[in-house]
Chain A
Amino acid sequence: QKEVEQDPGPLSVPEGAIVSLNCTYSNSAFQYFMWYRQYSRKGPELLMYTYSSGNKEDGRFTAQVDKSSKYISLFIRDSQPSDSATYLCAAGGTSYGKLTFGQGTILTVHP
């Protein structure tokens, strides 16, 4: 079993929909949780970062972490075609700098 599990999708939604992306993890030592976005043929870029449990909002994006259930979520409101990308969840904290990534979910937002 991988330490961070993520459904690879693909996920296809109409423009304007609310998107929910989820991951689970197994290592209780993880303290940092993040979401990276990766466009085709590009490197991942940090989208959201959360320390420990709680919510964090940035514009149309909300990240949630529930450490009791080891569940990580990313919500995208009013999704746009430009949000079409692969979204990777990641967790760290066992050793500074070391991140474990989920498989990535391919998201397509169609006009």
Chain B
Amino acid sequence: DAGVIQSPRHEVTEMGQEVTLRCKPISGHDYLFWYRQTMMRGLELLIYFNNNVPIDDSGMPEDRFSAKMPNASFSTLKIQPSEPRDSAVYFCASSLARRSGADSYQPQHFGDGTRLSIL
């Protein structure tokens, strides 16, 4: 089975440019997550979707960041305009919906990330 697919794997661009990161979740998964990982702050949740609908975007750092999920098999994270402090590894993850019962966690499956450098 194909896992979560992210593109590009690496992106180097100049400050002020628009950056678009892409994610294809695992087929059949109901949840999609966008994370950012830096040495200083670790792995932080930016936003997540359930059935293509944004549920919680409280982790999005500012208005320069936006995310969309136009269908169940595709999501984008856009930064416009980009700044050097946005340099990080951005991960996408997906999971199934919860099972019934109290112990209902479904694991999140991560892609291999996009390494973003803003010069």
A residues engaging B (CB < 8 A)? 32, 34, 41-46, 49, 51, 88, 92, 95-104
A51-B102, A99-B45 as given contacts; A46 in contact with B31, CB under 8 Å: no
The answer to whether B82 has its CB under 8 Å from any CB of chain A is no
Asked whether B43 lies within 8 Å of A32 as measured between CB atoms, the reply is no
Chain B residues, CB < 8 A from A34: 105, 107
Asked whether A43 lies within 8 Å of B112 as measured between CB atoms, the reply is yes
Asked whether B110 lies within 8 Å of A45 as measured between CB atoms, the reply is yes
Asked whether B45 lies within 8 Å of A100 as measured between CB atoms, the reply is yes
Asked whether A97 lies within 8 Å of B48 as measured between CB atoms, the reply is yes
A98-B56, A102-B42, A104-B43 as given contacts; A43 in contact with B105, CB under 8 Å: no
The prevalent SS among residues of B at the interface is strand
**Docked pose: A46 CA to B93 CA in angstroms:** 12
The answer to whether B33 has its CB under 8 Å from any CB of chain A is yes
Asked whether A101 lies within 8 Å of B42 as measured between CB atoms, the reply is yes
Most chain B CB within 10 A, of A92, A99, A101, A104, is at A99
Asked whether A103 lies within 8 Å of B42 as measured between CB atoms, the reply is yes
Chain B residues, CB < 8 A from A102: 42
The answer to whether B95 has its CB under 8 Å from any CB of chain A is yes
